[in-house]
Amino acid sequence: MSAQKFLENLRLRRSIYALGRDVEMPKEEIIDLIQDVVKESPTAFNSQTQRVVTLFGPAHEKLWDLTAEALKPLTPAEAYPNTLKKIQGFKNSLGTVLFFEDQSVVKGLQEQFSLYADNFPVWSEQASGLTTENVWVALSIAGLGANLQHYNPVIDDAVAKEWNIPADWKLRSQLVFGSVESPAQAKEYIDDADRFKVFGA
Ligand SMILES: Cc1cc2nc3c(=O)[nH]c(=O)nc-3n(C[C@H](O)[C@H](O)[C@H](O)COP(=O)(O)O)c2cc1C
């Protein structure tokens, strides 16, 4: 694949909120793709801190019901119908990938390599971010749309209870995916001059 093709593929990844279930790709292939991408995503010291739960069908719907329930006491009554509408949008999609980071591995590394103790939680977050991005890009190349949500920590307890998630798995993000029902709007970019510097070229 040329670098230009890679860039084209990166551009396929956008935040798509109008998602549906009109997906031809078999679920087994989606699962394999997600899992292989996670495995190929780098982690500090190859610590492989990422833990991933993929939800489809009733499990996916349950996640968004649990989210609606968890948000209810935290949301002003007049704003709650809008919250429910937004949640319904996520529920209408095909599935959700839950990204966790295993804190037992992070703690183990901190104990083993005390010199880097402060870095391991940061590197764990970075690994989670880049893993999420890789999965998001891969799903986009496969023709699916996705958007990234962060209802953690509000939903952490409900999720852990529902799917028997180990206590050390810290929920970091939720990637909602499905068929693209409406494309993303054109994206705006800040000036390159504010972002990039090159010396000695
Ligand atoms: C670290 C991170 C956190 C984000 N959190 C959310 C979120 O909680 N909810 C949401 O709708 N989008 C979230 N996004 C999506 C961004 O808003 C989106 O990527 C950005 O506006 C650029 O649009 P694009 O994804 O179409 O390129 C997040 C993105 C990143 C990288």
* CATH number, position 95: 3.40.109.10
Q: Is residue 13 part of a domain?
A: no
CA-nearest residue for atom 19, ligand 1, is: 15
Which helix (H) or strand (E) element contains residue 121?
A: helix 119-141
Query: From ligand 1's centre to the CA of 176, what distance in Å?
Result: 12
105 band by pLDDT with thresholds 50, 70 and 90: very high
Task: Please name the residue whose Cα sits nearest to atom 31 of ligand 1.
Answer: 129
Query: Could you tell me if the CB of 11 is within 6 A of ligand 1?
Result: no
What is the pLDDT, as a whole number, of residue 148?
99
Does the CB atom of residue 187 touch ligand 1 within 6 A?
yes
Tell me the pLDDT band of 135, cut-offs 50, 70 and 90: very high
Answer whether residue 14 is part of any domain.
Answer: no
Whole domain around residue 157: which residue ranges?
A: 27-173
Please identify, by atom number, the ligand 1 atom nearest to the C-alpha of residue 133: 31
Number of domains in the chain: 1
Whether residue 38 is contained in a domain is answered as: yes
Q: CA–CA separation, 98 vs 194, rounded Å?
A: 34
147 lines ligand 1 (CB under 6 A): yes
Would 135 be classed as within a structural domain?
yes
Q: Is the pLDDT of residue 1 over 90?
A: no
Please give the average per-residue pLDDT across 131-144, as a whole number. Answer: 98
Contacts of 92 (CB under 8 A, 6+ apart): 19, 20, 21, 178
Closest CA to 37 of 164, 112, 140: 140
| Rounded distance between C-alpha atoms, residue 193 and residue 10, angstroms | 22
Residue 98 lies in a domain: yes
Query: Is 14 close to ligand 1, i.e. is its CB under 6 Å away?
Result: yes
- Whether residue 26 is preceded by a cis peptide bond, meaning omega within 30 degrees of 0, is no
Give 14-63 pLDDT, tens digit per residue. Answer: 999 999 999 999 999 999 999 999 999 999 999 999 999 999 999 999 99
Question: Looking at the domain assignment, is residue 185 inside a domain?
Answer: no
- Average pLDDT along the chain: 98
What pLDDT band is residue 120 in, cutting at 50, 70 and 90? very high
Q: Three-class SS string for 23-43?
A: CCCCHHHHHHHHHHHHHHCCC
pLDDT above 90: residue 145: yes
Burial-class residue 115 by CB neighbours within 10 Å (0-12, 13-18, 19+): exposed
> Is 150 contained in some domain?
yes
User: Would residue 79 count as lying in a domain?
Assistant: yes
DSSP 123-179: HHHHHHHHHHHHHHHHHHHTT-EEEEE--TTTTHHHHHHHHT--TTEEEEEEEEEEE
Percent of the chain scored above 70 by pLDDT?
100
With a 6 A CB cut-off, is 188 part of the ligand 1 pocket?
no
Task: Report how far ligand 1's centroid is from the alpha carbon of 148 (Å).
Answer: 6
